[in-house]
Amino acid sequence: MITILCAVALLATDLQTHLAGLDAPKWRDREAATMAIARDWQGLPIASIETLLRERALSPEQRARLVIAIERRVFLLPRAAMGVRLESQGIVRPVGAPEGGVMVTALTPGLPAEHVLKPGDIITQLDDTPVHSSRDLVMFVQSHWPGSSIRVQALRETNGTWNPVAASLTLGSVDAFPESERPRLTAVTDEQRRTVERIRRLYAPRGRQVKAPQIAGRGSAAWMTQTVLAQRLELEEAPLDQREQLTAVATARWRTWLKAVDMRLGDRFLDPVRREQLEGARAALLDALASLER
C-alpha cells in the first residue's frame, strides 16, 4: 500500500514539473516538457491529458503545448512493433497449410515476437481482430503504443498437423529495427486522427487569446533563420585559432535545430503560414550546414 502511494505521489510530482515546464521562460525547457508528456504514453494516456485540458486552469501556452504533445504522440513518435516479417506476393505456403491469416517468414532479433512465434506460423487473430492480410497486422500493431500488451492467436505445424497457438506479448518499438529496415511512415488510424481533430477543436487556445509577439520569439522559425544567418557571419569573422571549435559547436546546434524543424514539419495539419516559415528555417539550416562542408 505504501509503495502504491509513493508511486502515485511521484507521478503527481512529475506531472506538476512537466506542467510548470510547459510555461517555462526558455523555449528549450518548454520543448523538453512537451516531449516528456508526449513520450509518457503509459503513465499519462491521452484521456488523462484531455482531463487536464478540461478541468485544470491552464495558461494559453500550457494548453497549446498539451495539445501539441497529443499531436506528436499520434503523428510523430515511434509506433509499436512485433518483430515479424510476413509473407509477400510470390511466396508459396507449404502443402497442406491452412488458408487465411498471414504467415511469418522471419523474426527480428530483439523484438518480442521471437519469444512467442516461429517462422512458418500463421497469425490468424490479434486480440479480437481477425488477420486476413499483412496490412491488417501492420495497421493493428502500429495503432498501439510500444509497451502495450496484445493477445496473439496463430496456427503452427507440428508433424503435419496445424495446432492453435495463443500467447500474450508486450509490443516493442519500430526503433528496434535496423535503420535500413525501419518503417518510414507509421500507420495512423481514423480514430486517432479524429481524436486529435476533436481535441484541437475543443481545447486549443484561440488566436485572440495569445498576443502575437512583436519580434521573433526564441525558438521560433523566424528566430532560427535570423540566428543562423548571424552565426554564419560570426564564424566567417572569427579568428582562425578559434574557428574550428566554434564550427563544431555551430554544427551540433544547427543539426539539433534541423531535427526540431523536421519534427514540426511532420504535422500534416500545420498552418500554411507557419509551414512556410519552418521551410524557410530548414532551407537556412541546410545551407549553413552545407557551407561548413565546402
> Would you list the DSSP string of 57-75?
---HHHHHHHHHHHHHHHH
CA distance 281 to 5: 47
CA distance 77 to 267: 11
CA 101 to chain centre: 29
- Give whole-number Cα distances, 136 to 79, 129, 197, 210, 276, in Å: 15, 9, 24, 43, 36
Question: What number of CA atoms fall less than 13 Å from residue 144's CA on the CB side?
Answer: 20
pLDDT tens per residue, the chain (294 residues)? 443 333 333 344 577 888 889 989 888 889 889 988 887 766 788 888 999 998 888 898 999 999 998 888 877 766 788 888 887 765 778 778 888 899 999 998 888 899 899 999 999 999 999 998 888 888 788 777 778 889 999 999 988 899 999 999 988 887 777 666 665 555 566 777 888 889 988 988 875 444 444 445 667 788 888 888 888 878 877 787 787 888 888 888 888 888 888 888 887 777 788 888 888 888 888 888 888 776
CA distance 227 to 77: 28
DSSP letter string over 203-256? Answer: HSPPGGGSPPPSSPPTTSHHHHHHHHHHHHHHHHHS-HHHHHHHHHHHHHHHHH
For 190-243, the pLDDT digits (tens) are: 777 888 889 988 988 875 444 444 445 667 788 888 888 888 878 877 787 787
The reported pTM is 0.47
Q: CB under 8 Å to 252, separation ≥6 — which residues?
A: none
C-alpha cell at 112: 518480442
107 beta partners: 84
What is the CA angle 53-80-14, rounded to 5? Answer: 40
Domains of the chain with bracketed CATH: 1-77+195-211 (no CATH), 80-181 (2.30.42.10), 213-294 (1.20.58)
Instruction: Outline where 58-189 has alpha helix (H).
Output: 60-75, 134-142
SS3 category, 87: coil
Q: Are 49 and 153 in contact (CB under 8 A)?
A: no
pLDDT value, residue 167? 92
Q: CB under 8 Å to 27, separation ≥6 — which residues?
A: 217, 218, 219, 220
Q: Are 65 and 36 in contact (CB under 8 A)?
A: no
pLDDT value, residue 261? 87
User: Which has the closest alpha carbon to 216: 204, 224, 208, 228?
Assistant: 224
- Give whole-number Cα distances, 244 to 59, 195, 203, in Å: 43, 49, 48
C-alpha cell at 96: 497442406
